[in-house]
C-alpha cells in the first residue's frame, strides 16, 4: 500500500508528514519530526486532538457511542463475563482459557493479604481522611514494600505477572480497609472461599458480630460496574499512569499517580459529586429546572455533574447499561430512592433542553453508578474508590503496553509566553 502523507506549508516551505491509520480507520498525522524539519511544534492544550500513543487495548467511537475492550463489545462483556476475565483480557490481550482463568484467580487470591506493617499505616490517617487519598498513599507504599529487584530480563515476565496479581489482589483489601478505618471498625481479612467481588463486599460489610449475607444481584451489579469501568483508553488517569510510568518508576508509583488523577471531580470524582448534587436538589425541594438553569448560566460555575464527556458526543454506552442495572438492583432490593426519581427527571429535562442538545451533553458513566453504590450501602466518599477498583486492569494494561513498546519518556513541549530576558535588581535579601 502506498504511504500516505499530509502536506503542511509553513513560511512558504512545504513539509510532508506521514499519515498513520488505525485498525478501525482512525487517522492521524505523525508530527514527531515536524520540529526538527521546520522549527514548529503543535499546540493542543488539554490534548483534545492529540494522539499520545498507538494502543491495541480499547476502541472507542465517541460519535457512535461504541466501546470495545480488545475488540469485544462492552455490552457483551458486561452481560456475559466476569471482572477477572475482563481484567485478564485487557491486560494480556486475549480472553483466558478456563485453566488460565483458574490460575489467574488463584494467584490473585493468594495475594489479597496485606503486610501487617502496611496495616499500621492506616492508623496514621485522619479518620475522616478521604479514602482516595488513602488509596493513593497505600498504592505508593507498595513500592516501598516490594521494591524492584529483578534486573535479569529473563525473569522480568514472571516479576511483572507477580506485580499484576499483587495489585489486583491487594487493591480491594486496601479499599475496604480504608472504609473500615474511617468507621473505627476492626478490619476484615480477605477470605479465599469468596470470589473477587464477594470478597470485597465481605471485607466492606462483615462485622465481628454479624456475617455479611451476600445477595447475588448485588454481586452481579457490582461485577457489571467494575467491568464497565475497566478501561477507557487515553483518559486523564490512564495518560497519567503512562506518563509517570514512562520515567520507569515502579508500577506501584504509576498506579498511585493514576489514583490521584482519578480523584478529581472532572474525572472519577464526578460519581461522588453526582450524588451530592442530587441530594442538594432534593433538600432544595426537588426543583430540577432550577438546576438545569444554573448549569446553563455562564455566570454560575455550577455544572450538571454526570453530564458531558470529552469523547462521547452521542451517548455513553456505559451509562445505558448502568441505568438498566440501577433499575434492576433497586427493584430487587426494594429500595425506593427519591434520588433516583430526581436523577430521571434531571436527565429528561436536560435531554430536552437546547443547551444540552447543542453541546451534545449526555449522562455519562457516573450519572447512575452512585445510585447503585448507595443502594448497596457503599458510602458516598467511597464511590471514586469503586471506580479505581474497576479501572485498575486498564491502568496496568496501559502501563504494560507503554513499557513493552519501549515508549520514550513523556515530555511535552510548550509555547513560552512569559517575560523575556530581564535583569535582576537586588533588594538586599542576601
Per the annotation, the verdict on 327 as an active-site residue is no
Q: Cell digits for 133?
A: 487519598
Q: Which is nearer to ligand CMC, 54 or 294 (CB)?
A: 294
Smallest separation, CB 309 to ligand CMC (Å): 5
Part of the chain binding ligand CMC (CB under 6 A), chosen from 98-106, 130-138, 155-163, 302-310: 302-310
- Residues 171-200: x/- map of binding to ligand CMC (CB under 6 A)? ------------------------------
Q: With CB under 6 A as the contact rule, which of the stretches 50-58, 96-104, 167-175, 360-368 interacts with ligand CMC?
A: 360-368
364 lines the binding site for ligand CMC (CB under 6 A): yes
Which one of 234, 235, 239, 250 is in contact with ligand CMC (CB under 6 A)? Answer: 235
Q: How far is the CB of 61 from ligand CMC (least distance, A)?
A: 15
| Nine-digit cell string for 172 | 480491594
Closest CA to 222 of 84, 83, 323, 334: 83
Active-site position among 202, 232, 309, 316: 309
**Residue 349 CB, nearest approach to ligand CMC (Å):** 12
Nearer to ligand CMC, 121 or 311 (CB): 311
CB 187 within 8 Å of CB 180? yes
267 touches ligand CMC (CB under 6 A): yes
> Does 309 participate in catalysis according to the annotation?
yes
Single out the residue of 201, 244, 255, 295 in contact with ligand CMC (rule: CB under 6 A): 295
CB of 204 to ligand CMC, least distance (A): 23
Instruction: Give the residue, chosen from 309, 323, 374, 400, that forms a contact with ligand CMC under the rule CB under 6 A.
Output: 309
Q: Identify whether the C-beta of residue 167 lies closer than 8 Å to the C-beta of residue 111.
A: no
Of 131, 133, 106, the residue nearest 195 (C-alpha): 106
Q: Between residues 198 and 231, which has the closer beta carbon with respect to ligand CMC?
A: 231
Rounded to whole angstroms, how far apart are CA atoms 351 and 140? 41
C-alpha cell at 250: 515502579
Of the candidates 176, 175, 204, 182, which has an alpha carbon nearest to the alpha carbon of residue 127? 182
Q: What is the DSSP letter of 93?
A: S
**Residue whose beta carbon is closest to ligand CMC:** 308
Task: Answer yes or no whether residue 306 interacts with ligand CMC by CB under 6 A.
Answer: yes
Q: Does 346 bind ligand CMC (CB under 6 A)?
A: no
Q: In this chain, which stretch among 14-22, 60-68, 260-268, 339-347 interacts with ligand CMC, using CB under 6 A? A: 260-268
d(CA 91, CA 74): 16
**Minimum distance from CB of 113 to ligand CMC (Å)?**
31
CB 329 within 8 A of CB 375: yes
- Give the separation between CA 365 and CA 322, rounded to whole angstroms: 7
Which parts of 389-408 interact with ligand CMC (CB under 6 A)?
none
Distance (Å, whole) CA 296 – CA 304: 9
> Residue 47: which of 22, 28, 66 has the closest Cα?
28
* Distance between CA atoms of residues 383 and 366, nearest Å: 9
**Interface with ligand CMC by CB under 6 A: which range of 9-17, 156-164, 245-253, 301-309?**
301-309
How many other CB atoms are there within 10 angstroms of residue 11's CB atom? 7
Which residue among the candidates 231, 316, 366, 381 is catalytic per the annotation? 366
- 295 contacts: CB under 8 Å, gap ≥ 6: 302, 303, 304, 307, 350, 355
Taking CB under 6 A as the rule, does residue 359 contact ligand CMC? yes
Q: Tell me, by CB under 6 A, how many residues bind ligand CMC.
A: 20
* Shortest distance, position 317 Cβ to ligand CMC, whole Å: 12
The reply to whether 268 sits near ligand CMC by the rule CB under 6 A is yes
Residue 204 binding ligand CMC, by CB under 6 A: no
Q: What's the sign of the alpha-carbon dihedral 57, 62, 67, 71? A: negative
DSSP H helices, 229-312, are: 236-245, 251-263, 270-283, 288-296
Residue closer to ligand CMC by CB (options 142, 277) is: 277
Residue 185 CB contacts under 8 Å (≥ 6 apart), including other chains = 207
The rounded distance, in Å, linking the Cα atoms of 317 and 359 is 18
Residue span binding ligand CMC (CB under 6 A) among the ranges 92-100, 186-194, 308-316, 368-376: 308-316
Q: Which of 214, 109, 209 is nearest to 165 (CA)?
A: 109
User: Could you list the active site residues?
Assistant: 309, 366
Site of interaction with ligand CMC (CB under 6 A): 232, 235, 266-268, 270, 295, 303-310, 359, 361, 364-366
Amino acid at each position: 500500500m502506498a504511504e500516505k502523507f499530509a502536506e503542511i506549508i509553513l513560511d512558504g516551505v512545504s513539509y510532508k508528514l506521514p499519515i498513520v491509520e488505525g485498525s478501525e480507520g482512525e487517522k492521524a498525522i505523525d508530527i514527531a519530526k515536524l520540529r526538527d524539519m521546520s522549527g514548529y511544534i503543535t499546540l493542543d492544550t488539554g490534548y483534545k486532538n492529540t494522539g499520545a500513543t498507538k494502543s491495541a487495548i480499547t476502541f472507542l467511537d465517541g460519535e457512535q457511542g461504541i466501546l470495545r475492550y480488545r475488540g469485544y463489545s462492552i455490552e457483551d462483556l458486561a452481560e456475559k463475563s466476569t471482572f477477572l476475565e475482563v481484567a485478564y483480557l485487557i491486560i494480556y490481550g486475549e480472553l483466558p482459557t478456563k485453566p488460565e482463568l483458574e490460575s489467574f484467580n488463584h494467584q490473585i487470591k493468594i495475594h489479597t493479604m496485606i503486610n501487617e506493617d502496611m496495616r499500621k499505616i492506616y492508623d496514621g490517617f485522619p479518620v475522616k481522611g478521604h479514602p482516595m487519598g488513602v488509596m493513593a498513599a497505600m498504592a505508593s507504599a507498595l513500592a516501598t514494600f516490594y521494591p524492584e529487584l529483578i534486573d535479569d530480563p529473563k525473569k522480568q515476565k514472571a516479576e511483572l505477572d507477580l506485580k499484576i496479581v499483587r495489585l489486583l489482589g491487594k487493591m480491594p483489601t486496601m479499599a475496604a480497609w480504608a472504609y473500615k478505618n474511617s468507621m473505627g471498625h476492626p478490619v476484615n481479612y480477605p477470605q479465599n472461599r469468596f470470589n473477587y467481588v464477594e470478597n470485597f463486599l465481605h471485607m466492606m460489610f462483615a462485622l465481628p458480630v454479624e456475617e455479611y449475607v451476600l445477595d447475588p444481584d448485588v454481586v452481579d451489579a457490582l461485577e457489571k460496574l467494575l467491568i464497565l469501568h475497566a478501561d477507557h483508553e487515553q483518559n486523564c488517569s490512564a495518560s497519567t499512569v503512562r506518563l509517570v510510568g514512562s520515567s520507569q518508576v515502579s508500577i506501584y508509583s504509576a498506579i498511585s499517580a493514576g489514583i490521584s488523577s482519578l480523584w478529581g471531580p472532572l474525572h472519577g470524582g464526578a460519581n461522588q459529586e453526582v450524588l451530592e448534587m442530587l441530594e442538594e436538589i432534593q433538600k432544595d425541594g426537588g426543583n430540577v429546572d432550577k438546576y438545569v438553569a444554573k448549569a446553563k448560566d455562564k455566570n454560575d460555575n455550577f455544572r450538571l455533574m454526570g453530564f458531558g464527556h470529552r469523547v462521547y458526543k452521542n451517548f455513553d454506552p456505559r451509562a445505558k447499561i448502568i441505568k438498566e442495572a440501577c433499575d434492576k438492583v433497586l427493584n430487587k432490593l426494594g429500595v425506593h430512592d427519591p434520588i433516583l426519581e430526581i436523577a430521571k427527571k434531571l436527565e429528561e429535562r436536560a435531554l430536552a433542553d437546547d443547551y444540552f442538545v447543542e453541546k451534545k451533553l449526555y449522562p455519562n458513566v457516573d450519572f447512575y453508578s452512585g445510585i447503585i453504590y448507595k443502594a448497596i450501602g457503599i458510602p458516598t466518599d467511597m464511590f471514586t474508590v469503586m471506580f479505581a477498583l474497576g479501572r485498575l486492569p486498564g491502568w496496568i494494561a496501559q502501563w504494560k503496553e507503554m513499557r513493552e513498546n519501549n515508549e520514550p519518556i513523556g515530555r511535552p513541549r510548550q509555547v513560552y509566553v512569559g517575560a523575556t530576558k530581564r535583569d535582576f535588581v537586588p533588594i538586599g535579601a542576601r
